[in-house]
A and B are shown apart, each in its own frame.
Chain A
Amino acid sequence: MDLFLFYTFAFLAITSALLVVSLKNTARALFLFFIVLFAMAGLYLFALADFVAITQVLVYVGGVLILMIFAFMLSNKELLSDLQDLSGSFIQLPNWQSLALSLGFLGLMGYGIWQWDQAYSPSWMEQNIRTGQIILSRDNNINQLGMLFMSRYILPFEIISIFLMMTLIGAAHIARKGDEA
């Protein structure tokens, strides 16, 4: 059952990702992107990262995707037709360059799989398995996340807060009427 669900999510993610890049209808592609993100969230669940999965849905689907669709709707028609016209548009890379890029990524991933030795795992991992310090699917790891955010990862956490503050101020500045500024 789990395996079946895993492959369903993986299949959904890959096919809809392929469709997103190949569809000519930008609006449909954006809505398909939602399926990609949702399937990815499903895959995170298999890594016992339920918090990350839900955050993915909340932030990307509820926020980023809606913003993308808004941007798409508010941009003018000429720009969109330029985008949708796939031959010789300004945003598209020449074919040979994109081919080289994708082959490069494929090679990188293939190299990663080739290098990965299934029998070997680092000593800290084996030690933790022996002492039982592992996460089970029933565990509540939100408490641990909170602890780590407030202790070991406090600096990145605070930097992200400041970054979000900057975007808020920037958004407020852009949204202000011109003559008052």
Chain B
Amino acid sequence: MQEILAHIIPPIAIFLFIASFTLFAVYAERKIAGFVQDRLGPMETGKHGSLQTIADILKLLQKEFITPTVADKILFALAPIVIFIAVYIGFSVIPWAPGFAPANTNTGLFFIMAVISIDALGILMAGWGSNNKYSLLGSIRAIAQMLSYEIPIGLSLIAVVMLSQTLNLNDIAFNQGILATENIKFLGIWNVNEIGGVLAWHIFQAPHLLFVYVIFFIATLAECNRAPFDIPEAESELIGGFHTEYGGIRFAFVFLAEYAMMFLVSMLGVVLFLGAWNTPLPNIGSLQLATWTTGLYWGIFWTIFKSTLIVGVQMWIRWTLPRFRADQLMNLCWKILIPAAFVGMAISGLWRILVMV
């Protein structure tokens, strides 16, 4: 019984978290958009518009299922589920706090990469199943973009894995703070096993990872189809891209998947580069800030806090920068990000051999 419960409770908890996060994130997105564009954003429903997204989701849930007559009905109905499940499974291996992860596998990082690539298949299903030119074009653009940007993501992940020597996300998280099992050094010279805090994060253990993280961040923006890389759903050219024909709860799932993906990649970036659930506060002499702020609840708090911050940056960028043209997008990926990621990987190799001996 206990074993079955252990297999049932975490998925439900994660789903509830994703749903409530999406409600919050959509509200935040509108408020940030309002702030960037010098207006107020939603104000009418509830205090400062705080009930706006709940009203929206209630409206979506009541809507009728509309399937276009010439659509491939099975593919059309399955696509939102595949898109959502692909992202949802990704959450299963990410650690939230010390020793607190839904699944502790030795291949966690590799697993996430594989699972995210299923997302592309779901988008293709949606585009093809809708039997609509805009949807198909949108999905083809999305696939081209996602497949291309998976390469810089993969290379930047390799740069981290070369230093951490493991694909287990739990171990990667442990070795960035005071609970580390290996010797960790700030900038490769100063042992910070006791001090912890921000100094023990990967980006400060090996400073070139900061530059790799920027590559990772840009590539994940494209992977989520967020502006400035949102040509798959460019409203002015393609109506709504691959989800043009979707309405009601199916559209809600596509939307949920997009926000879940944003949170997933932010969390992945946090785990790999920004110290996972480790506290940013270091131990200073008798002021044991790091020791006081490490633990199960603190871990969950730091994970959510850091990831939400990164999601906030994603939104800020979305409402600040204009959209890339398709050829600029590919140029950026193949001519700038991939060579830069290769350089980062090479530095990682040298760092491992020369500095971390």
Contact = CB atoms under 8 A, between A and B. Distances in A.
A104 interface: no
Contact of B114 (A27, A62, A65, A140): A62
Interface residues of B, number: 26
Interface residues of A, number: 22
Interface in A119-144: 140-142
B316 to A, nearest CB: 30
Contacts of B74: 28
Contacts of B124: 66, 69
A64 to B, nearest CB: 11
A13 interface: no
A61 B117 contact: yes
Chain B contact residues, majority secondary structure? helix
Contact of B121 (A27, A54, A66, A142): A66
A69 B166 CA distance: 34
Interface in A27-42: 27-28, 31, 34
Contact of A50 (B72, B105, B150): B105
Nearest to B79: A31
B125 interface: yes
B75 A142 contact: no
A147 interface: no
B121 A65 contact: yes
B251 to A, nearest CB: 21
Most buried by B among A31, A55, A63, A142: A31
Interface string A53-77: 0110110011101100110010000
Given A69-B124, A70-B143, A142-B106, 13 more contacts: A25-B72, A50-B105, A50-B106, A51-B107, A51-B110, A54-B114, A57-B115, A58-B117, A62-B117, A63-B147, A69-B128, A73-B128, A73-B136
